[in-house]
Amino acid sequence: MEKKKLLKIYHDMLVIRKFEEKALKLFEANKLRGSVHLTIGQEAVAAAVCSNLRDEDYIT
């Protein structure tokens, strides 16, 4: 795999982690309604899968 693609996946992993950490803090402060289903520790799965999606792929 090319270094550029690996760096993009790593960047996406960091974005996911930071988003989820913020969501957790907001939830714990009762600033989010409902529940949260975090994937902390599993960011690589989403980042790697999404890096291989094509425009014609359909996700449900």
Task: Take residue 37 and report the two structure tokens written for it.
Answer: 């289903």
Which tens digit of pLDDT belongs to each residue from 1-60?
899 999 999 999 999 999 999 999 999 999 999 999 999 999 999 999 999 999 999 988
Q: Which residue bears the tokens 């907001």?
A: 26
Quote the pLDDT of residue 1.
Answer: 87
pTM for the full predicted model: 0.86
Retrieve residue 34's tokens: 């409902």
Q: Where are the domains of the chain?
A: 3-51
SS3 28: helix
10's CB contacts (< 8 A; 6+ apart) are 47
Residue 53: C-alpha distances to residues 12, 31, 40 (Å): 14, 33, 22
